[in-house]
């Protein structure tokens, strides 16, 4: 290459145009720009990113609209990254290489069987176990395995739900972290339960079957 390899440079954009699939570990600090670049050029991709990228306002709409989803690696898993041998700031040495770890996951738009696996549920809905939020007409579901099998309304679930998300079984309506907002301004604000704000939540609803 003649330049410095910046993915935004004209030289790299020309290479991107020639590519079929992009598979890489982009700089986490530039993840938004990187995803914007490869989606602008309508490329298939498989890239590693910080799990918190799910809540970025530039990233969440892609997940919500099924233009991007999680890959096979479990959500929130630990990735070990190799560092230059002359670095002084490292976590441990594995096989003679200096490394550090970070929770990360795969983001992709490539089809895979895992994405169409049905999430099998058995818990029954009751008002005591699934209280409604103070400011939303939705119920709190603290664990994915507890999603009630017989509730068709809106549910707030942990963001790790994306690792189990089957778009044929559920639809994603929004989140409680200000990354999107529906026409009524309902989503995108903190979800309150008994006067206290909950953790990060996705709002989902079961798809109706005919």
120-167 residue pLDDT tens: 999 999 999 999 998 888 999 999 999 999 999 999 999 889 989 999
Phi, psi of 141 (to 5 degrees): -125, 105
* Residues 153, 139 contacting (CB under 8 angstroms): yes
Give the pLDDT mean for 83-101. Answer: 89
20 within a domain of the structure (yes/no) = yes
The β-bridge relationship of strands 97-108 and 21-24 is unpaired
Same domain for 101 and 138?
Answer: no
133 within a domain of the structure (yes/no) = yes
Phi, psi of 38 (to 5 degrees): -75, -30
Give the pLDDT mean for 198-210. Answer: 83
- In this predicted structure, what is the pLDDT of residue 191? 82
* Percent of the chain surpassing pLDDT 90: 56
Largest alpha-carbon pair distance within the chain?
64
Same domain for 97 and 14?
Answer: yes
Cα atoms in the 13 Å half-sphere on the side-chain side of 44: 7
- Token pair, residue 48, equals 């590693």
Same domain for 151 and 108?
Answer: no
2 within a domain of the structure (yes/no) = no
- In this predicted structure, what is the pLDDT of residue 200? 84
Q: Which domain holds residue 123?
A: 117-210
Helix and strand element counts for the chain (H, E): 3, 12
Average pLDDT value for the chain = 88
- In this predicted structure, what is the pLDDT of residue 178? 55
- In this predicted structure, what is the pLDDT of residue 180? 52
Using CA atoms, how far apart are residues 106 and 51, in angstroms rounded to an integer?
9
Highest mean pLDDT among 82-91, 99-108, 147-156: 147-156
- Token pair, residue 141, equals 């579901």
What is the sign, positive or negative, of the torsion defined by CA atoms of 196, 58, 141, 73?
negative
- In this predicted structure, what is the pLDDT of residue 183? 44
- The string of DSSP codes covering 134-196 is SSSSSEE--SGGG--TT--S-EEE-GGGGGT--TTTEEEEEESSSS---TTS-SSS--EETTE
Number of domains in the chain: 2
Same domain for 61 and 139?
Answer: no
Query: 102, 107, 6: which is closest to 62 by C-alpha?
Result: 107
Same domain for 85 and 123?
Answer: no
Chosen domain end from 59, 94, 113: 113
- In this predicted structure, what is the pLDDT of residue 75? 67
Whether 56 shows a pLDDT value over 50: the answer reads yes
Reported as a single tens digit per residue, the pLDDT across 61-72 is: 999 999 999 988
1 within a domain of the structure (yes/no) = no
108 within a domain of the structure (yes/no) = yes
Q: Please tell me whether residue 75 adopts helix, strand or coil conformation.
A: coil
Same domain for 188 and 207?
Answer: yes
Chosen domain end from 113, 134, 155: 113
Same domain for 57 and 99?
Answer: yes
Chosen domain end from 113, 147, 174: 113
Same domain for 180 and 200?
Answer: yes
Same domain for 127 and 32?
Answer: no
Same domain for 107 and 48?
Answer: yes
Same domain for 105 and 137?
Answer: no
5 within a domain of the structure (yes/no) = no
Give the pLDDT mean for 28-44. Answer: 96
84 within a domain of the structure (yes/no) = yes
Whole-model pTM: value is 0.81
Reported as a single tens digit per residue, the pLDDT across 184-196 is: 455 556 788 888 8
Same domain for 130 and 205?
Answer: yes
Backbone φ/ψ region at 185: left (φ over 0), alpha (ψ -120 to 50), beta: left
3 within a domain of the structure (yes/no) = no
Give the pLDDT mean for 107-117. Answer: 91
DSSP 55: G
């Amino acid at each position: 290459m003649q330049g410095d390899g910046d993915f935004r440079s004209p030289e790299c954009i020309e290479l991107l145009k020639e590519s079929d699939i992009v598979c890489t570990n982009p700089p986490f600090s530039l993840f938004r720009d990187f995803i914007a670049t490869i989606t602008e050029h309508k490329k298939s991709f498989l890239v590693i990113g910080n799990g918190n990228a799910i809540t970025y306002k530039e990233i969440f709409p892609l997940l919500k609209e099924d233009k991007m989803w999680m890959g096979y690696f479990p959500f929130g898993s630990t990735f070990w990254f190799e560092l230059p041998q002359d670095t002084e700031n490292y976590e441990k040495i594995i096989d003679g290489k200096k490394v550090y770890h970070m929770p990360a996951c795969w983001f992709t738009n490539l089809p895979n069987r895992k994405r169409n696996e049905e999430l099998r549920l058995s818990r029954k809905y009751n008002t005591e176990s699934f209280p409604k939020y103070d400011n939303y007409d939705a119920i709190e579901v603290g664990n994915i395995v507890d999603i009630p099998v017989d509730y068709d309304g809106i549910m707030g679930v942990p963001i790790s739900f994306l690792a189990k998300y089957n778009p044929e079984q559920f639809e994603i309506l929004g989140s409680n972290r200000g990354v999107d907002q529906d026409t009524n301004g309902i989503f995108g604000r903190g979800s309150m339960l008994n006067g206290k704000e909950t953790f990060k939540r996705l709002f989902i609803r079961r798809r109706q079957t005919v």
